Amino acid sequence: MHAVVRGDVQGVGFRYYVQRKARQLGLPGWVRNNDDGSVELVAEGERDALEQLQRAVEEGPRGARVDRVDAQWSHGTGGLKPFDLAW
């Protein structure tokens, strides 16, 4: 899953929230802030776990406001490392 999250999602702990949720679900991947104020993430794994992550991202942490999540799904490559912050 590749997703771009738009809204008030930077400076509110959003990346750490996504990282924590993805690790709880055992998903590899990464999350980063984009220059346009959005947050972008990539994760691989079982469809159910990815759907749980997507729901968590749509809700966001306290203090965030998620306006939109644009998610695209594709087949995983198996090349992602344990979920971490990307810079």
The residues annotated with a catalytic role in the active site are 15, 33
Amino acid at 42: V
Q: How far apart are CA 58 and CA 56, in angstroms?
A: 5
Residue 63 has which token pair? 């203090």
Q: How far apart are CA 67 and CA 45, in angstroms?
A: 25
